[in-house]
Structure formats: C-alpha cells, structure tokens
Chains A and B, each alone.
Chain A
Amino acid sequence: MADIELSEEQGMLANSAGDFLQKHSSFEAVRQRLASDSGHDAAMWKEMAALGWLGVALPEQHGGADMPVGALVSLAEPMGRHLFASPFLATTLAGRMLAVGGSEAQQARWLPGIASGETIATVALTEPDGSWELGAPQLRAERRGGGYALRGSKTFVLDAAVADLVLISAELEGVPAVFAVERAALPDGALRREVLIDEARRGYRLDVDDFEVGADSRLDGDAPAALDHAYRLGALLVAAEMVGGTEGVMDLTLEYLRTRVQFGRLIGSYQALKHPMVDIMVVQEQARSLLHHAATIFERDAGLAEVALRMAKAMAGDCYTHAADRAIQFHGGTGFTYECHAQLFFRRAQFCEYSFGDSRHHRRRLEPLLLEEGCVWESAHRLVPGGLPGG
C-alpha cells in the first residue's frame, strides 16, 4: 500500500469543500461571524450537513458515510485555509468518540442526529492544568443513586453554547470514563465563555459540582480508547487546519509582496522577504506531505501511525506559526492593524499550535519512538533490506 493515497471520493470531498468555503468563508464573512455572540451560523450548518460533512467517518448504519477517518483531512485542510470556524471539529470529535467508545444503543441514540446535522456535539476533555494528555482526567465521577455525580472543571469546551450534547471525561474509581450529557441538563452557570486568542472560535470553561447524571450517560465501550482516539484525531484535524492555514497566510503575504512598492521596487524583489517566503514554502510542502501520510495510515498501523501523526502536527505547527509571524512583519505597519487579515491567521495559528499538543510536545514524544534501539520505526524503515522509505 502506498504511503500517501487520495481516493476519488476524498478528492471530491476536498473540491466541494474548497468551493463551499470560497463562497461562505470570505474574510468579510469570517469577521462578521466572529463578531457575533455564538460565532455560529445555523443556516450554513444545515448546508454543511446536506453536503454530508458531518457523517463522513461515522458508521453507515447510523447515517454516516463510513469513509476512512483520514478522509476528514480533506475537509479540515480547506477549512483552515479559509479561516473557517464552526462546530465541525467539536462535533466530529464527539461523533468519533461515540463510534469508538459508545455501546450500540448509545451510538444509535446519538450518531444519526450528529450525521444529519440535527445534533451539535462537543467534547470536554482538557482541564485547567493545561495538559494535553487526555488519558488521565481529574474531574471526579462517583456513583450516586442509580447514576453518577460529576465534580470538577474542564476547559476549551468548543462551541458548548450551541451544542446539544457534551462528552465529558472523568476519573471514576481510578479509571477514565466518559459521560454523554445533554447540554440543556447542565446546571445554570456551569459554562463560562473563555476569551480566546482566536476570536472566531468559541471555547467555554465548564465547572460542575455534584452534577448528577443518569447511568446510561456513561459510555459503555472502551473509554481509554475513545480518549486516545480524540487525542489523535484532534491532532490530525488541527494539523490539517494548520497546513491549510499556512497556505492561506502565504497567499495573503505573497499578494502583498507582489503589489507593495518601496524604494521604487516591488518589495517581493527584496531577498530579505523573498528568501524567507521560499523557506516557508519548502517546509509547507514537507508538512503537507507528512499530513497526508498521517491521514493515509491513520487507521492502518498503530505504531507507525502515531509517528506519522506526531511528525505532521509538529511540522505543521512550526510552519504555520512561523508563516503567520512573518506575515505580520512583511506587511509592515499595516500588518500590525486589526483591519489587516494577517492577524486572523496569526491568532488562528497560535490557537492551533496549542491545541492537541504543540510542536514541542509531539517532538518530545517522538524521541523514544524514533531513537530507541528496536523501535517500530527502526524495524519499518531502517532494517528492511532495500526498503528505503518513500517508494
């Protein structure tokens, strides 16, 4: 099997996303939406649902299209490019967590609504200590009556205000558990909107104290697997958003370099600007290759998929944050204004970098995976006779 594949279906998905976002996510539209309270556009959400985007990687028997999880990258990449913000990421993560860790009955209850766009869902996984490891939640759950009581805090619960369903991770008797809770059931005041550097996004802090939930709200399947899936899928989709975002911010900057004149010349002719743009492009090409490789093998070979994913998130993060940083500088005084679109990318890049593990986090975790004697990487790429990677 090839290291990078793009199915016809996936190509079509990418094209339709490109067209749709071109139309619905112009800079003006992005700015309008970010100034609104919920940041959400219900009419557009319906259109996204009609295009089938919300069930791409959900099981067919629950209304999904059952495509490979990696196909989601074909949507997330153009979303990043067009600075699109919607409950897509939150809903997709919740849907996939249910698909991995929910019982048949729980899937049947929630997934059809998610796939059809009826149900907006989100995940409450990170906590105030800021750790990216999702496998050891500290929010406490204890058995109470026939059900459970939850106590603790979560951060960055995306789009919680418009969500119908929230998946909350917790520690229950020493092991991780996940609870699927209707947002309407949350106590008053449980959600506080956070002030995020990316103004197009909506994040909420969740505080609960003795919040009682029913027995059937606990996911019956493998909770650690669901949490691991969320960690990996989150990193994959954010990496895709970053690769797309880099493309968008490169476009914006290059356009300026092609039109702005100083000292009687187009500023793009100055190598102090031109060469750094080439450096960015060169890393972007690499990041994009890693991304599509990670997407291709996401469900294939656990050990190598983890390596590919961490490489993709790390390189995409380095590249986007740097490209956005240079975008400000290369626009001069204009770049420092709120009006210049460079800041939209800049803020998005910062947000993405610190979501689902920053570049340093992933590179750190790559060390044992790549450097230990006898590691999976070594047997796959070093010791195969004649098997240089990339063929």
Chain B
Amino acid sequence: MSEATPARPSPEELDAFRTEVRAWLKDNKPEPPDFQLPDSFMEVGTPEQFEYLRAWQHKVYEAGYIGLTWPKEYGGGGLHGLYQGVVNREMGAANVPFMVNIIGLMWAGPVILQLGTHAQKQRYIQKILSAEEIWCQGFSEPGNGSDLGNAQTTAVRDGDEWVLNGTKIWTSLGTEAKHMILLARTDPGAPSKYKGLTFFLAPVDIPGVHKTPIQKMTGEYGFNETRFEDARIPGDSILGREGEGWSVAMATLMFERGAAEGQAGGLSMVPLRVDDVVQLARECKRDGRPAIEDPEVRAELVRFVMEERALGLCQVRQRIPGLVTERPHAIMMMNKLVGTEFRRRLARFAISLQGANGVLYMGDPDAPDGGHWQRNYMNAFSATIGGGTSQIQKNILGERVLGLAKSY
C-alpha cells in the first residue's frame, strides 16, 4: 500500500472514536433473526443466513467501520490501524454478527492491495468492503489439499482469454461468490511443480463453472465442489505474474493465517470466550452438582483462562521489539495454530460440563444453550483443517521459525 503511513491517533482521539463506535453499535446492532445464524463464514448454508449477514456487512461498510486502514482511493478509510482495532474489540464486546465476505476482507483484498495493479484495485476493493461482490477461494483440489503446490487445475491461454479445466473443492461461500482467487497450472512442463502455477482473480458466475454443494458433518451446508469445464475468463485476470502463482498464494496464506497484517477488520466468526464457559459451568450440573464445584472442572477452567490471557498478552508483547528478539515473527506465525486449536479444545470441554445432557443436539428443546456448544465443537474443525491444517502449521513453524529441516 503505497500511501504515506497514516498518523497515529492520540489516546483522546481514540477514546472519542470508541465512544462513537459504541453508540453506533448500540443503535444499529441487528435484531436476532428467527433462524439459527452460522458460527462463521464457512457455515453459511442458506440464502436467508447469507442475506442477513450481507446486509449487516453493508451497513457496517456504510458507517465506515471496516477497511479503515485500506487506502481511501479504493474505498477504505486511510486511517491508522488502531482505529480498526477499536472497532474490532467493540464489535466483539457488543456480540454483533460477523462479516460475511471474509475471504475478500481478510485475504483476497489484502493480497490484491499488496500485489494488484491500480486497475485491479479499482475494480475489486470497494465492492469487497460493501459485500456487493462475494469472494471465494479455489486452492484445494480433491487430490491436492495440504500439498497445494501440486494443484492440477489447468489454465490455457486462448487468444484474449484463459480456459480453465479441473476441480476445486471445499469452496466456502462458493454458491454466493462472484469471484474466486484461483491457483491453476499454466505450465505443466515447468521444472518444479511450484513454478508452473499462476494466480487468477477469476469470475465464477460464468458458463462452464459448475457448483455442487457439499453437506458438512453438522448437517449444514456452506462449501462446494467447483468444477471448471472449458470456463473462459479474461486474459487480464492474473494477479502478480504468470508462473509466479506460488508466491502469490503464499502471500495470501500469510494474510489468511493472521501472519501478516492488512486485513479489513470486523469480526470473522462468533467469538468463543472462556468467560462464557465459566458461566456455563455455573449453570450446568454434573451428577447433580454445579459443574463449577467439580475439582477437575476447576483445574481445567484455570488452565483455559490462563491460556486465553496469555494469548491475548502475546499480541501485546508482539509489538515490543525488545521482547521478541529471539523469534520476531513467532507470535504472528503461530496465531492460526493456537487460536484454532484453543477454540476446538474449549468447545469440547464446554460439552463435558453438561453431564448426561451433553448428548442433546441443536433442535432439542432441552439442549443446554440450544446445542450451541455441540455444533461449535464440530465447526471448530473447519479452522483446524481449513487454511492449512494444524499439522501443516507445525511443519511451517518448525521449519521457518525454529530452523529445522523440511518434513515431507
């Protein structure tokens, strides 16, 4: 982002801004719908869920509360990151819905801003913020998931166009999306599998793109198989350069995993807090007694509170250069792994507080918290698998941060 660094606000300016945001959220928090909302953008399974969430993002955009750090000329706020931080925290505290166009806001948009041409930024950025155009991601294939560099979907140049063939899978928001960030093979004869890849900004509401919804373990929908059969996209759809798709994909994943900054902001999923689990432990009974009286429950709760606090403090320490000299990027690089695994373990633990009633699921009138935790535990795997599995994250951390030899 080429603009001059925006000025750092004074504490008074931030306080005033916080007051404004808080008031706005109070007045504009949407009424809860009469249907169940999803836990994250990866579980948007019905048109009514989608429209509700899209309307909310649009409202937030119009109020100017996302993309605060993005350049003004493309529809952003051109402000210092502290402003967006205030909004994010206030949204978390106010328990408002999350943003729906997450792929656009959190990684497609940032990577376009980082590597795109002026024309591409003009074309795409503002509509990402307003949720007018939804983005999806075409990285994984049935045969190539963790081994993303082995992607086999092909793009062949034909005159002014590229012709796509192949199958992408687990396409979140695939049904609603207008565009896809797509990794495809343009040079099957390249000396290494990584060198033959190119990164596209591809329309997916065009002939030759077939979308098939896939049902999730929870019974809900939210991701697709996306099949390309001679789908023709414009010749200027490349982000970065032909044959350099791998490095663009890596830059994208840095944003996706929270290892690089530049996201538009807003909530990306329903926050899961240890507080809520402490409260649940007070309300639930195990063997006739409040769960919070169980010594093992207490011991585990303490560990969860400690871990949540420590992870929060890591984000503070990360910004103090004198306290991260050993591994300057470790905290950023580990955010994805620790955040998603923490959420999974916490949701599992929350079910265990419910004793015999822990087996009741969403839809049963007696289910504690409406079966929310049971669904939450299942959905937690979307983040420990999607975006690069936890095992792959450990490989990356071991190799890039700890300097150990590559695993295959």
B395 at the A interface (CB under 8 A)? yes
Task: Say yes or no: is B89 at the interface (Cβ < 8 Å to chain A).
Answer: yes
Contact B404 A292 (CB under 8 A): no
Q: Is the CB of B337 within 8 A of A257?
A: no
Q: Provide the B288-315 mask, 1 if CB < 8 A to any CB of A, else 0.
A: 0000100000110111011101111111
The answer for the CA separation of A344 and B303 in the assembled complex, in Å, is 29
Q: Which of A5, A11, A254, A381 contacts B404 (CB 8 A)?
A: A254
CB distance B323 to A288 under 8 Å?
yes
5 additional A-B residue pairs with CB within 8 Å, beyond A286-B313, A286-B314, A293-B313: A258-B404, A271-B407, A281-B401, A311-B309, A386-B94
B317 touches A289 (CB 8 A): yes
Q: Enumerate 30 A-B pairs (CB-CB under 8 Å) in ascending A order.
A: A3-B316, A4-B320, A11-B322, A268-B405, A269-B404, A271-B391, A271-B394, A271-B395, A274-B395, A274-B407, A281-B327, A281-B397, A281-B401, A285-B327, A285-B330, A285-B331, A288-B317, A289-B310, A290-B309, A290-B313, A292-B323, A315-B310, A367-B301, A371-B292, A371-B302, A377-B305, A386-B94, A389-B312, A390-B315, A390-B316
Q: Are A371 and B314 also in contact (CB < 8 A) when A275-B391, A275-B398, A386-B94 are?
A: no
Q: Write the chain A residue with the least CB distance to B86.
A: A391
Residues of A within 8 A of B (CB): 2-6, 11, 14, 247, 254, 257-258, 265-266, 268-271, 274-275, 277-279, 281-282, 285-290, 292-293, 311, 314-315, 363, 366-367, 370-371, 373, 377, 381-382, 385-391
Q: Quick check: is B118 within 8 A (CB to CB) of the other chain?
A: no
B307 touches A387 (CB 8 A): no
In the complex, chain A residues whose CB is within 8 Å of the CB of B330? 281, 285
Q: Is the CB of B402 within 8 A of A391?
A: no
Q: Which residues of A lie under 8 Å from residue B404 when comparing CB positions? A: 254, 257-258, 266, 268-269, 274, 277
Min Cβ gap B399→A in Å is 8
- Contact (A254, B312) CB under 8 Å given A281-B397, A386-B94: no
- How distant is the Cα of A292 from the Cα of B306 in the complex, in angstroms? 14
A contacts with B: majority SS: helix
Q: Are A386 and B309 in contact (CB under 8 A)?
A: no
Q: Which of A6, A257, A286, A363 contacts B323 (CB 8 A)?
A: A6
Q: Which residues of B pack against A, CB within 8 Å? A: 18, 22, 85, 89-90, 92-94, 275, 278, 282, 292, 298-299, 301-303, 305-307, 309-317, 320, 322-323, 326-327, 330-331, 334, 337-338, 391, 394-395, 397-399, 401-408
Residues in B with CB closer than 8 Å to A314 are 306
In angstroms, Cα B326 to Cα A13, docked, is: 17
How far is A258 from B90 in the complex, measured between Cα atoms in Å? 45
Known A277-B398, A285-B331; judge A270-B407 contact (CB<8 A): yes
Contact A4 B316 (CB under 8 A): yes
B22 — which chain A residues lie within 8 A by C-beta? 385-386
Q: Are B278 and A315 in contact (CB under 8 A)?
A: no
Which of B90, B93, B303, B398 has a CB less than 8 Å from the CB of A268? Answer: B398
Q: Which residues of chain A are within 8 angstroms of B399 by Cβ–Cβ distance?
A: 274
Q: Are B309 and A274 in contact (CB under 8 A)?
A: no
**Inter-subunit contact A389/B407 (CB<8 Å):** no
- Closest beta carbon of chain B to A92's beta carbon, Å: 21
* B395 and A265 contacting across the interface, CB-CB below 8 Å: no
User: How many angstroms between the C-alpha atoms of A274 and B93 in the bound complex?
Assistant: 38
- Bound Cα distance from A80 to B323, whole angstroms: 16
A4-B394 contact, Cβ under 8 Å, with A257-B404, A311-B306, A386-B89: no
